[in-house]
Structure 1
Amino acid sequence: MPSNKRYRILSTRAVDPELVSSAAEQSVDIIPQAFIRTRPRVDDRLLQQVQQLLKEKVTVVFTSVNAVNAIQNLYFRILPADAVTEQANMPGWDVYCLEGATKEALSRTAIPHNITGTAANAAMLAQTIVRNEEKGPLVFFCGDRRRDELPDILRQRNIGLNEVIVYETTETPAVTGATYDGIFFLSPSAVQSFFSVNHLAQHTVCFSIGPTTAAALEQHTNNKIIISTGQRMADMVQTAIFYFNNIN
Protein backbone atom coordinates (compact mmCIF):
# COMPACT_ATOMS: atom_id res chain seq x y z
CA MET A 1 0.00 0.00 0.00
CA PRO A 2 1.62 3.30 -1.01
CA SER A 3 2.50 5.40 2.05
CA ASN A 4 0.93 8.53 0.55
CA LYS A 5 -2.40 6.86 -0.18
CA ARG A 6 -5.13 6.47 2.42
CA TYR A 7 -8.38 4.57 1.95
CA ARG A 8 -11.69 5.56 3.51
CA ILE A 9 -14.23 2.91 4.51
CA LEU A 10 -17.73 3.51 5.80
CA SER A 11 -18.94 0.84 8.23
CA THR A 12 -22.70 0.44 8.49
CA ARG A 13 -22.24 -0.87 12.02
CA ALA A 14 -20.20 0.26 15.02
CA VAL A 15 -16.55 -0.83 15.06
CA ASP A 16 -14.33 -1.45 18.08
CA PRO A 17 -12.00 1.58 18.50
CA GLU A 18 -9.00 -0.77 18.65
CA LEU A 19 -9.85 -2.13 15.19
CA VAL A 20 -10.26 1.42 13.90
CA SER A 21 -6.84 2.35 15.28
CA SER A 22 -5.19 -0.79 13.90
CA ALA A 23 -6.61 -0.13 10.44
CA ALA A 24 -5.54 3.52 10.54
CA GLU A 25 -1.96 2.42 11.15
CA GLN A 26 -2.20 0.58 7.81
CA SER A 27 -3.62 3.61 5.93
CA VAL A 28 -7.25 2.49 6.13
CA ASP A 29 -9.59 4.97 7.84
CA ILE A 30 -12.87 3.44 9.06
CA ILE A 31 -15.83 5.74 9.67
CA PRO A 32 -18.70 4.03 11.59
CA GLN A 33 -22.32 5.02 10.86
CA ALA A 34 -25.06 2.67 12.07
CA PHE A 35 -27.77 2.06 9.47
CA ILE A 36 -29.91 -0.20 11.64
CA ARG A 37 -30.86 -0.27 15.30
CA THR A 38 -31.69 -3.43 17.21
CA ARG A 39 -33.69 -3.57 20.42
CA PRO A 40 -34.10 -6.67 22.60
CA ARG A 41 -37.68 -7.61 23.43
CA VAL A 42 -38.67 -7.78 27.07
CA ASP A 43 -42.23 -8.63 28.06
CA ASP A 44 -43.89 -10.96 30.56
CA ARG A 45 -44.94 -13.55 28.00
CA LEU A 46 -41.44 -13.82 26.54
CA LEU A 47 -39.85 -13.97 30.00
CA GLN A 48 -42.16 -16.83 30.98
CA GLN A 49 -41.44 -18.66 27.73
CA VAL A 50 -37.66 -18.44 28.14
CA GLN A 51 -37.90 -19.32 31.83
CA GLN A 52 -39.72 -22.52 30.93
CA LEU A 53 -37.23 -23.38 28.18
CA LEU A 54 -34.34 -23.01 30.64
CA LYS A 55 -35.88 -25.84 32.65
CA GLU A 56 -35.96 -28.15 29.63
CA LYS A 57 -33.38 -30.09 27.62
CA VAL A 58 -34.13 -28.41 24.30
CA THR A 59 -32.23 -27.85 21.07
CA VAL A 60 -31.98 -24.19 20.10
CA VAL A 61 -30.69 -22.26 17.11
CA PHE A 62 -28.90 -18.89 16.95
CA THR A 63 -27.96 -17.15 13.70
CA SER A 64 -27.05 -13.72 15.10
CA VAL A 65 -25.17 -12.06 17.92
CA ASN A 66 -28.23 -9.91 18.57
CA ALA A 67 -30.29 -12.99 19.42
CA VAL A 68 -27.60 -14.27 21.78
CA ASN A 69 -27.38 -10.90 23.56
CA ALA A 70 -31.16 -10.69 23.84
CA ILE A 71 -31.36 -14.15 25.45
CA GLN A 72 -28.52 -13.27 27.80
CA ASN A 73 -30.44 -10.16 28.83
CA LEU A 74 -33.57 -12.24 29.54
CA TYR A 75 -31.53 -14.86 31.37
CA PHE A 76 -30.24 -12.34 33.91
CA ARG A 77 -33.74 -10.96 34.40
CA ILE A 78 -34.97 -14.47 35.15
CA LEU A 79 -32.03 -15.66 37.19
CA PRO A 80 -29.73 -13.52 39.37
CA ALA A 81 -26.01 -13.87 38.64
CA ASP A 82 -25.39 -15.41 42.08
CA ALA A 83 -28.10 -18.09 41.78
CA VAL A 84 -25.57 -20.92 41.64
CA THR A 85 -27.95 -23.69 42.76
CA GLU A 86 -30.55 -22.83 40.12
CA GLN A 87 -27.86 -22.76 37.42
CA ALA A 88 -26.54 -26.15 38.48
CA ASN A 89 -30.00 -27.69 38.16
CA MET A 90 -30.51 -26.50 34.59
CA PRO A 91 -30.22 -29.29 32.02
CA GLY A 92 -28.54 -26.97 29.49
CA TRP A 93 -29.41 -26.40 25.85
CA ASP A 94 -28.00 -28.15 22.80
CA VAL A 95 -27.12 -25.33 20.43
CA TYR A 96 -26.72 -24.92 16.68
CA CYS A 97 -25.19 -21.56 15.79
CA LEU A 98 -23.21 -19.62 13.22
CA GLU A 99 -19.44 -19.67 13.40
CA GLY A 100 -17.43 -16.60 14.35
CA ALA A 101 -19.08 -13.77 16.27
CA THR A 102 -22.27 -15.68 17.16
CA LYS A 103 -20.39 -18.63 18.59
CA GLU A 104 -18.01 -16.30 20.44
CA ALA A 105 -20.95 -14.40 21.95
CA LEU A 106 -22.41 -17.70 23.17
CA SER A 107 -19.11 -18.64 24.80
CA ARG A 108 -19.34 -15.48 26.91
CA THR A 109 -22.85 -16.15 28.20
CA ALA A 110 -23.71 -17.71 31.55
CA ILE A 111 -26.41 -19.86 29.96
CA PRO A 112 -25.64 -23.60 30.30
CA HIS A 113 -25.26 -24.99 26.79
CA ASN A 114 -23.43 -27.40 24.54
CA ILE A 115 -22.51 -26.55 20.94
CA THR A 116 -23.93 -29.32 18.77
CA GLY A 117 -23.17 -27.88 15.34
CA THR A 118 -21.91 -24.74 13.59
CA ALA A 119 -21.77 -23.42 10.04
CA ALA A 120 -20.71 -20.33 8.11
CA ASN A 121 -24.25 -19.20 7.22
CA ALA A 122 -27.89 -19.99 7.97
CA ALA A 123 -28.48 -22.24 4.95
CA MET A 124 -25.41 -24.34 5.74
CA LEU A 125 -26.47 -24.50 9.40
CA ALA A 126 -29.85 -25.86 8.33
CA GLN A 127 -28.09 -28.54 6.27
CA THR A 128 -26.01 -29.47 9.32
CA ILE A 129 -29.22 -29.90 11.33
CA VAL A 130 -30.65 -32.08 8.57
CA ARG A 131 -27.51 -34.25 8.41
CA ASN A 132 -27.66 -34.75 12.16
CA GLU A 133 -31.17 -36.14 11.70
CA GLU A 134 -32.76 -33.78 14.17
CA LYS A 135 -36.48 -34.42 14.51
CA GLY A 136 -37.43 -31.25 16.33
CA PRO A 137 -39.12 -29.24 17.38
CA LEU A 138 -36.11 -26.94 17.62
CA VAL A 139 -36.32 -23.45 19.11
CA PHE A 140 -35.11 -20.68 16.80
CA PHE A 141 -34.23 -17.47 18.67
CA CYS A 142 -34.37 -14.74 16.04
CA GLY A 143 -35.30 -11.16 15.19
CA ASP A 144 -38.49 -9.86 13.67
CA ARG A 145 -36.76 -9.57 10.27
CA ARG A 146 -35.04 -12.93 10.13
CA ARG A 147 -34.12 -14.50 6.80
CA ASP A 148 -36.12 -17.40 5.34
CA GLU A 149 -33.32 -19.82 4.40
CA LEU A 150 -33.04 -21.82 7.62
CA PRO A 151 -36.77 -22.12 8.43
CA ASP A 152 -37.61 -23.02 4.81
CA ILE A 153 -35.00 -25.79 4.60
CA LEU A 154 -36.04 -27.35 7.91
CA ARG A 155 -39.74 -27.25 7.13
CA GLN A 156 -39.13 -28.83 3.74
CA ARG A 157 -37.57 -31.72 5.68
CA ASN A 158 -40.46 -31.79 8.16
CA ILE A 159 -38.24 -30.73 11.04
CA GLY A 160 -40.33 -28.82 13.57
CA LEU A 161 -39.21 -25.29 14.36
CA ASN A 162 -40.63 -22.93 16.99
CA GLU A 163 -39.61 -19.35 16.26
CA VAL A 164 -39.17 -17.07 19.25
CA ILE A 165 -38.65 -13.40 18.36
CA VAL A 166 -36.27 -11.92 20.91
CA TYR A 167 -35.20 -8.66 19.24
CA GLU A 168 -36.52 -6.10 16.78
CA THR A 169 -34.67 -4.35 13.97
CA THR A 170 -35.32 -0.79 12.82
CA GLU A 171 -33.69 0.79 9.78
CA THR A 172 -31.94 4.11 10.45
CA PRO A 173 -31.00 5.35 6.96
CA ALA A 174 -28.74 8.38 6.62
CA VAL A 175 -27.42 10.20 3.55
CA THR A 176 -23.65 9.84 3.68
CA GLY A 177 -22.82 12.90 1.58
CA ALA A 178 -19.32 11.54 0.92
CA THR A 179 -17.48 9.13 -1.34
CA TYR A 180 -15.74 6.09 0.10
CA ASP A 181 -13.27 3.54 -1.20
CA GLY A 182 -15.15 0.77 0.56
CA ILE A 183 -18.23 0.09 2.66
CA PHE A 184 -18.78 -2.62 5.27
CA PHE A 185 -22.18 -4.35 5.17
CA LEU A 186 -23.00 -6.82 7.96
CA SER A 187 -26.64 -7.68 7.30
CA PRO A 188 -29.27 -7.55 4.55
CA SER A 189 -31.19 -5.03 6.69
CA ALA A 190 -28.21 -2.67 6.65
CA VAL A 191 -27.98 -3.08 2.87
CA GLN A 192 -31.65 -2.12 2.48
CA SER A 193 -31.29 0.83 4.83
CA PHE A 194 -28.17 2.19 3.12
CA PHE A 195 -29.43 1.96 -0.44
CA SER A 196 -32.81 3.45 0.44
CA VAL A 197 -31.14 6.88 0.49
CA ASN A 198 -27.66 6.44 -1.04
CA HIS A 199 -25.92 5.59 -4.31
CA LEU A 200 -22.38 4.28 -4.75
CA ALA A 201 -19.55 5.71 -6.79
CA GLN A 202 -18.36 3.19 -9.39
CA HIS A 203 -15.02 2.59 -7.66
CA THR A 204 -16.49 1.89 -4.19
CA VAL A 205 -15.96 -1.70 -3.05
CA CYS A 206 -18.67 -3.43 -1.00
CA PHE A 207 -17.35 -5.70 1.74
CA SER A 208 -19.92 -8.27 2.87
CA ILE A 209 -19.92 -10.28 6.10
CA GLY A 210 -21.21 -13.36 4.27
CA PRO A 211 -22.97 -14.76 1.19
CA THR A 212 -26.48 -13.84 2.37
CA THR A 213 -25.55 -10.18 2.71
CA ALA A 214 -23.67 -10.39 -0.60
CA ALA A 215 -26.86 -11.66 -2.28
CA ALA A 216 -28.74 -8.66 -0.89
CA LEU A 217 -26.04 -6.35 -2.25
CA GLU A 218 -26.36 -7.85 -5.73
CA GLN A 219 -29.96 -6.66 -5.80
CA HIS A 220 -28.85 -3.05 -5.35
CA THR A 221 -25.47 -2.60 -7.04
CA ASN A 222 -23.13 -3.86 -9.75
CA ASN A 223 -20.08 -2.71 -7.81
CA LYS A 224 -17.39 -5.15 -6.74
CA ILE A 225 -18.46 -7.27 -3.75
CA ILE A 226 -15.89 -8.99 -1.56
CA ILE A 227 -17.00 -11.47 1.08
CA SER A 228 -15.17 -11.40 4.40
CA THR A 229 -12.90 -14.31 5.25
CA GLY A 230 -14.76 -14.75 8.56
CA GLN A 231 -17.88 -13.74 10.48
CA ARG A 232 -16.28 -11.31 12.92
CA MET A 233 -15.78 -7.58 12.44
CA ALA A 234 -12.05 -8.18 12.88
CA ASP A 235 -12.17 -10.54 9.88
CA MET A 236 -13.97 -7.89 7.84
CA VAL A 237 -11.34 -5.29 8.70
CA GLN A 238 -8.48 -7.63 7.79
CA THR A 239 -10.19 -8.55 4.52
CA ALA A 240 -10.35 -4.87 3.57
CA ILE A 241 -6.75 -4.18 4.59
CA PHE A 242 -5.54 -7.16 2.56
CA TYR A 243 -7.54 -6.01 -0.45
CA PHE A 244 -6.24 -2.45 -0.40
CA ASN A 245 -2.70 -3.72 0.21
CA ASN A 246 -2.85 -5.75 -2.99
CA ILE A 247 -4.85 -3.76 -5.53
CA ASN A 248 -1.80 -1.96 -6.92
Structure 2
Amino acid sequence: MKSVLSTRSLNNAQLALLANSGIGVESYDAIGVTILDVDIPEGYTQYIFTSKNGVKGYLKNKISGVENQKKITCYCVGEKTQAFLEEKGLFVAKMTEYSRELGDFLVENDKNGPFLVFTGNRNRPELGRKLTEHKIHFQEVMVYETQLHPKKFEKDFQILLFYSPSGVQSFVQANDQKDATALCIGETTAREARKHFQKVIVAKKPTTDNVIETLIEHFPKLSNA
Protein backbone atom coordinates (compact mmCIF):
# COMPACT_ATOMS: atom_id res chain seq x y z
CA MET A 1 0.00 0.00 0.00
CA LYS A 2 1.25 3.43 -0.89
CA SER A 3 1.83 5.93 1.94
CA VAL A 4 -0.04 9.24 1.70
CA LEU A 5 0.62 12.59 3.39
CA SER A 6 -1.85 15.48 3.46
CA THR A 7 -0.28 18.91 4.00
CA ARG A 8 -3.55 20.11 5.52
CA SER A 9 -5.45 18.58 8.44
CA LEU A 10 -8.54 16.74 7.21
CA ASN A 11 -11.92 16.71 8.91
CA ASN A 12 -13.59 13.60 10.30
CA ALA A 13 -15.88 13.14 7.29
CA GLN A 14 -12.92 13.26 4.89
CA LEU A 15 -10.91 10.82 7.01
CA ALA A 16 -13.89 8.46 7.22
CA LEU A 17 -14.33 8.56 3.44
CA LEU A 18 -10.69 7.63 2.97
CA ALA A 19 -10.86 4.89 5.60
CA ASN A 20 -13.92 3.38 3.91
CA SER A 21 -11.90 3.32 0.68
CA GLY A 22 -9.04 1.53 2.41
CA ILE A 23 -6.70 4.51 2.29
CA GLY A 24 -4.71 5.58 5.33
CA VAL A 25 -3.46 9.17 5.35
CA GLU A 26 -1.10 11.02 7.66
CA SER A 27 -1.70 14.77 7.89
CA TYR A 28 -0.23 17.98 9.29
CA ASP A 29 -0.65 21.70 8.64
CA ALA A 30 2.19 22.86 6.40
CA ILE A 31 1.11 26.49 6.74
CA GLY A 32 -0.58 28.68 9.33
CA VAL A 33 -2.70 31.80 8.93
CA THR A 34 -2.94 34.87 11.17
CA ILE A 35 -5.82 37.31 10.69
CA LEU A 36 -4.49 40.85 11.06
CA ASP A 37 -5.88 43.96 12.72
CA VAL A 38 -6.15 46.58 9.97
CA ASP A 39 -8.11 49.66 8.99
CA ILE A 40 -10.41 48.93 6.06
CA PRO A 41 -10.44 51.81 3.54
CA GLU A 42 -13.84 53.48 3.25
CA GLY A 43 -15.71 54.54 0.14
CA TYR A 44 -15.63 51.20 -1.69
CA THR A 45 -18.76 49.24 -2.57
CA GLN A 46 -17.13 46.57 -4.75
CA TYR A 47 -15.05 44.00 -2.88
CA ILE A 48 -12.84 41.20 -4.20
CA PHE A 49 -12.01 38.18 -2.07
CA THR A 50 -9.51 35.62 -3.33
CA SER A 51 -9.86 33.30 -0.33
CA LYS A 52 -11.98 32.50 2.70
CA ASN A 53 -9.22 33.99 4.87
CA GLY A 54 -9.78 37.33 3.14
CA VAL A 55 -13.42 37.20 4.21
CA LYS A 56 -12.37 36.43 7.78
CA GLY A 57 -10.07 39.45 7.67
CA TYR A 58 -12.89 41.68 6.46
CA LEU A 59 -15.30 40.42 9.11
CA LYS A 60 -12.76 40.94 11.89
CA ASN A 61 -12.04 44.53 10.91
CA LYS A 62 -15.26 45.93 9.49
CA ILE A 63 -16.70 48.84 11.44
CA SER A 64 -20.19 48.06 12.65
CA GLY A 65 -22.72 50.71 11.71
CA VAL A 66 -20.44 52.45 9.20
CA GLU A 67 -20.60 49.98 6.34
CA ASN A 68 -23.95 48.97 4.91
CA GLN A 69 -23.41 45.43 3.66
CA LYS A 70 -26.46 45.66 1.42
CA LYS A 71 -24.59 48.21 -0.70
CA ILE A 72 -21.57 45.95 -1.17
CA THR A 73 -21.11 43.80 -4.28
CA CYS A 74 -18.63 40.96 -3.92
CA TYR A 75 -16.53 39.09 -6.46
CA CYS A 76 -14.65 36.06 -5.22
CA VAL A 77 -12.50 33.02 -5.94
CA GLY A 78 -13.70 29.60 -4.80
CA GLU A 79 -16.97 27.94 -3.90
CA LYS A 80 -16.22 27.95 -0.18
CA THR A 81 -15.38 31.65 -0.28
CA GLN A 82 -18.73 32.33 -1.96
CA ALA A 83 -20.62 30.17 0.53
CA PHE A 84 -18.97 31.93 3.47
CA LEU A 85 -19.76 35.38 2.07
CA GLU A 86 -23.40 34.49 1.50
CA GLU A 87 -23.62 32.93 4.95
CA LYS A 88 -22.55 36.30 6.34
CA GLY A 89 -25.21 38.14 4.35
CA LEU A 90 -23.04 39.52 1.54
CA PHE A 91 -24.08 39.51 -2.11
CA VAL A 92 -21.77 37.66 -4.52
CA ALA A 93 -22.12 38.84 -8.11
CA LYS A 94 -19.53 36.44 -9.54
CA MET A 95 -17.45 33.49 -8.37
CA THR A 96 -14.65 31.87 -10.36
CA GLU A 97 -12.36 28.99 -9.50
CA TYR A 98 -9.13 30.91 -10.14
CA SER A 99 -7.96 34.50 -9.72
CA ARG A 100 -6.96 34.84 -13.37
CA GLU A 101 -10.50 33.81 -14.42
CA LEU A 102 -11.95 36.50 -12.16
CA GLY A 103 -9.65 39.08 -13.71
CA ASP A 104 -10.76 38.01 -17.19
CA PHE A 105 -14.42 38.29 -16.17
CA LEU A 106 -14.00 41.81 -14.78
CA VAL A 107 -12.23 42.97 -17.93
CA GLU A 108 -14.59 41.29 -20.39
CA ASN A 109 -17.68 42.63 -18.62
CA ASP A 110 -16.39 46.19 -18.29
CA LYS A 111 -16.32 46.13 -14.50
CA ASN A 112 -14.26 49.26 -13.92
CA GLY A 113 -14.25 49.40 -10.13
CA PRO A 114 -12.98 50.86 -8.01
CA PHE A 115 -12.39 47.59 -6.21
CA LEU A 116 -11.13 46.86 -2.73
CA VAL A 117 -9.12 43.62 -2.84
CA PHE A 118 -8.66 41.66 0.40
CA THR A 119 -5.30 39.89 0.27
CA GLY A 120 -2.68 37.99 2.24
CA ASN A 121 1.08 38.41 2.31
CA ARG A 122 1.64 35.55 -0.15
CA ASN A 123 -1.17 36.22 -2.63
CA ARG A 124 -0.61 35.38 -6.28
CA PRO A 125 -0.02 38.46 -8.50
CA GLU A 126 -2.14 37.48 -11.54
CA LEU A 127 -5.29 39.39 -10.57
CA GLY A 128 -3.47 42.61 -9.73
CA ARG A 129 -1.52 42.44 -12.98
CA LYS A 130 -4.70 42.00 -15.01
CA LEU A 131 -6.44 44.95 -13.34
CA THR A 132 -3.38 47.16 -13.69
CA GLU A 133 -2.91 46.20 -17.34
CA HIS A 134 -6.46 47.30 -18.14
CA LYS A 135 -6.26 50.43 -15.99
CA ILE A 136 -8.98 49.24 -13.60
CA HIS A 137 -8.72 51.09 -10.29
CA PHE A 138 -8.23 48.94 -7.22
CA GLN A 139 -6.69 49.06 -3.78
CA GLU A 140 -5.34 46.10 -1.89
CA VAL A 141 -5.68 45.69 1.86
CA MET A 142 -3.67 42.92 3.52
CA VAL A 143 -5.87 41.29 6.13
CA TYR A 144 -4.01 38.03 6.82
CA GLU A 145 -0.54 36.53 6.85
CA THR A 146 0.45 33.02 5.83
CA GLN A 147 3.36 31.41 7.68
CA LEU A 148 5.27 28.34 6.49
CA HIS A 149 5.56 25.50 8.99
CA PRO A 150 8.32 23.25 7.61
CA LYS A 151 8.45 19.78 9.16
CA LYS A 152 11.02 17.08 8.45
CA PHE A 153 9.67 13.57 7.86
CA GLU A 154 11.95 10.59 8.31
CA LYS A 155 9.83 8.34 6.11
CA ASP A 156 9.19 8.73 2.42
CA PHE A 157 5.69 9.19 1.07
CA GLN A 158 4.58 8.05 -2.34
CA ILE A 159 1.63 10.48 -2.55
CA LEU A 160 1.58 14.05 -1.25
CA LEU A 161 -1.60 16.15 -1.09
CA PHE A 162 -1.07 19.89 -1.62
CA TYR A 163 -3.63 22.71 -1.29
CA SER A 164 -1.61 25.86 -2.03
CA PRO A 165 1.74 26.94 -3.48
CA SER A 166 2.75 27.92 0.06
CA GLY A 167 2.07 24.37 1.22
CA VAL A 168 4.40 23.03 -1.46
CA GLN A 169 7.09 25.52 -0.51
CA SER A 170 6.76 24.63 3.16
CA PHE A 171 7.07 20.87 2.54
CA VAL A 172 10.07 21.04 0.20
CA GLN A 173 11.85 23.41 2.56
CA ALA A 174 12.38 20.48 4.94
CA ASN A 175 12.02 17.42 2.69
CA ASP A 176 13.49 16.07 -0.55
CA GLN A 177 10.97 13.58 -1.88
CA LYS A 178 11.00 14.39 -5.59
CA ASP A 179 9.99 10.84 -6.54
CA ALA A 180 6.61 11.24 -4.83
CA THR A 181 3.39 11.96 -6.73
CA ALA A 182 2.02 15.41 -5.91
CA LEU A 183 -1.78 15.59 -5.97
CA CYS A 184 -2.75 19.28 -6.10
CA ILE A 185 -5.97 21.16 -5.41
CA GLY A 186 -5.64 23.29 -8.55
CA GLU A 187 -3.44 24.42 -11.40
CA THR A 188 -1.85 27.29 -9.42
CA THR A 189 -0.63 24.83 -6.79
CA ALA A 190 0.39 22.37 -9.51
CA ARG A 191 2.63 24.95 -11.19
CA GLU A 192 4.61 25.26 -7.96
CA ALA A 193 4.65 21.48 -7.47
CA ARG A 194 6.10 20.89 -10.95
CA LYS A 195 9.20 22.78 -9.88
CA HIS A 196 9.92 20.01 -7.36
CA PHE A 197 8.11 16.83 -8.47
CA GLN A 198 8.07 14.96 -11.75
CA LYS A 199 4.65 13.38 -11.19
CA VAL A 200 1.83 15.88 -10.61
CA ILE A 201 -1.94 15.26 -10.65
CA VAL A 202 -4.51 18.08 -10.50
CA ALA A 203 -7.95 17.64 -8.90
CA LYS A 204 -10.91 18.23 -11.22
CA LYS A 205 -12.23 21.04 -9.00
CA PRO A 206 -10.23 23.20 -6.56
CA THR A 207 -11.72 21.95 -3.29
CA THR A 208 -10.32 19.78 -0.51
CA ASP A 209 -13.18 17.32 -0.99
CA ASN A 210 -12.28 16.96 -4.65
CA VAL A 211 -8.64 16.31 -3.76
CA ILE A 212 -9.90 13.43 -1.62
CA GLU A 213 -12.16 12.16 -4.41
CA THR A 214 -9.29 12.35 -6.90
CA LEU A 215 -7.05 10.41 -4.51
CA ILE A 216 -9.65 7.68 -4.18
CA GLU A 217 -10.17 7.59 -7.96
CA HIS A 218 -6.44 7.33 -8.74
CA PHE A 219 -5.33 5.28 -5.75
CA PRO A 220 -5.50 1.82 -7.41
CA LYS A 221 -3.37 3.12 -10.29
CA LEU A 222 -0.89 4.78 -7.94
CA SER A 223 -0.68 1.75 -5.66
CA ASN A 224 0.41 -0.40 -8.60
CA ALA A 225 2.81 2.16 -10.03
TM-score (structure 1 length as normaliser): 0.83
Q: Which of 94, 102, 110 lines up with 2:81 in the alignment?
A: 102
What is the identity, as a one-letter code, of the residue corresponding to 2:56? N
Q: Which of 20, 27, 36 lines up with 1:32 in the alignment?
A: 27
Deviations 1:2-50 (A, max 9, x none): xxxx44321111211220121111011122111111100014xx2xx26
Matched, 1:188 2:183: no
After superposition, the Cα gap between the structure-2 partners of 1:92 and 1:236, relative to the gap in structure 1 and judged at 3 Å, is farther
Aligned to 1:120: 97
Decide whether the 8 Å contact of 1:67 with 1:167 is kept in 2: yes
Written as runs of structure 1 = structure 2, the 5 A alignment for 1:1-248 is 6-43=1-38, 46=39, 49=40, 52=42, 58-75=45-62, 78-79=63-64, 86=65, 90-108=69-87, 110=88, 112-200=89-177, 202=179, 204-222=180-198, 224-247=199-222
How far 1:105 moved relative to its partner?
2.4
Deviations 1:91-116 (A, max 9, x none): 332111113222222232x2x42211
Runs of 4+ in 1 over 6 A off after TM superposition: none
Count of residues paired in the alignment: 223
How far 1:168 moved relative to its partner?
0.6
After superposition, the Cα gap between the structure-2 partners of 1:233 and 1:72, relative to the gap in structure 1 and judged at 3 Å, is same
Aligned to 1:82: none
What is the identity, as a one-letter code, of the residue corresponding to 1:99? G
User: What percentage of aligned pairs have identical amino acids?
Assistant: 26
RMSD: 2.0
Runs of 5+ consecutive residues of structure 2 not aligned to the other structure: none
How far 1:201 moved relative to its partner?
5.3
What is the identity, as a one-letter code, of the residue corresponding to 1:220? H
TM-score (structure 2 length as normaliser): 0.91
Decide whether the 8 Å contact of 1:186 with 1:208 is kept in 2: yes
Deviations 1:65-85 (A, max 9, x none): 21122223334xx43xxxxxx
Aligned to 1:83: none
What is the identity, as a one-letter code, of the residue corresponding to 1:207? L
2: distance between equivalents of 1:89 and 1:25?
A: 47
What is the identity, as a one-letter code, of the residue corresponding to 1:144? N
2: distance between equivalents of 1:124 and 1:32?
A: 31
After superposition, the Cα gap between the structure-2 partners of 1:134 and 1:10, relative to the gap in structure 1 and judged at 3 Å, is same
Runs of 5+ consecutive residues of structure 1 not aligned to the other structure: 1-5, 80-85
Decide whether the 8 Å contact of 2:58 with 2:143 is kept in 1: yes
2: distance between equivalents of 1:127 and 1:152?
A: 11
